[in-house]
A and B are shown apart, each in its own frame.
Chain A
Amino acid sequence: MSQRYAYYPGCSLEASAVEYDLSTKSVLRALGVELEEIPDWSCCGASAGHAVSKALALALPARDLARAETGGADVVAPCPACYKNLRYVRESLEEEAGRAKVERLLEGTGLSLSGKVQVKHLLEVLATDIGAERIAEAVQVPLEGLKVVTYYGCYISRPGSMRSFDDPVEPVTMDVLCRAAGAAVLPFTRKVRCCGAPVMMSSPGEMHRLSYEILNEAKQRGADAVVVACPLCHHSLDAAQPEIEKHHGKLEMPVLYITQVLGLALGLHPWDELGLDRNVVSTLGIVKRFSKVECPSK
Chain B
Amino acid sequence: MKTLAQEVIEAGGGESIKACYQCGTCTGGCPTAGEMDYTPRQIIRMVNLGMRDRVLTSNSIWLCASCYQCQVRCPRGVRITDIMAALRSIAIRDGITPARPRAPAFYQSFLENISTYGRQFEPMLILKTVVRSREGIGEKLGFLLGMLPMGITLMRSRKMPLKAERVQGIEEVRRLFSNAEKLEAEG
Contact = CB atoms under 8 A, between A and B. Distances in A.
Contacts of B180: 53, 55-56, 58-59, 105
A108 interface: yes
A194 B88 contact: no
Contacts of A60: 114, 173, 176
B168 A242 contact: no
B136 interface: no
A55 B159 contact: no
Contacts of A43: 113-114, 118-120
A109 B175 contact: yes
B179 A16 contact: no
A293 interface: no
B56 to A, nearest CB: 14
B110 A46 contact: yes
A192 to B, nearest CB: 7
Interface stretch (A28-36, A141-149, A154-162): A154-162
Interface stretch (A112-120, A202-210, A215-223): A202-210
A54 B87 CA distance: 12
B19 to A, nearest CB: 15
A51 B181 CA distance: 14
B37 to A, nearest CB: 13
Interface residues of A, number: 65
Interface string A12-44: 101111100000000000000000000011110
Interface centre among B105, B113, B120, B167 (most CB of A within 10 A): B120
Contact of B184 (A55, A108, A194): A55
A42 B119 contact: yes
A52 B69 contact: no
Given A160-B72, A206-B63, A201 B176 contact: no
Interface of B: 11-12, 31-32, 35, 59, 62-69, 71-73, 79, 81-82, 85, 88-89, 92, 100, 102-108, 110-111, 113-114, 118-120, 122, 129, 143, 146, 149-150, 153-154, 157-161, 167-169, 172-173, 175-177, 179-181, 183-184
Interface of A: 11-12, 14-18, 40-43, 45-56, 58-60, 62-63, 101, 104-111, 154-155, 158-161, 168-169, 192-194, 196-199, 201-204, 206, 210, 239-240, 242-243, 278-280
Given A15-B161, A41-B167, A56-B177, 17 more contacts: A16-B122, A16-B154, A46-B120, A48-B111, A53-B184, A54-B184, A60-B176, A63-B169, A107-B179, A109-B172, A159-B82, A192-B69, A202-B59, A202-B62, A240-B150, A278-B158, A278-B159
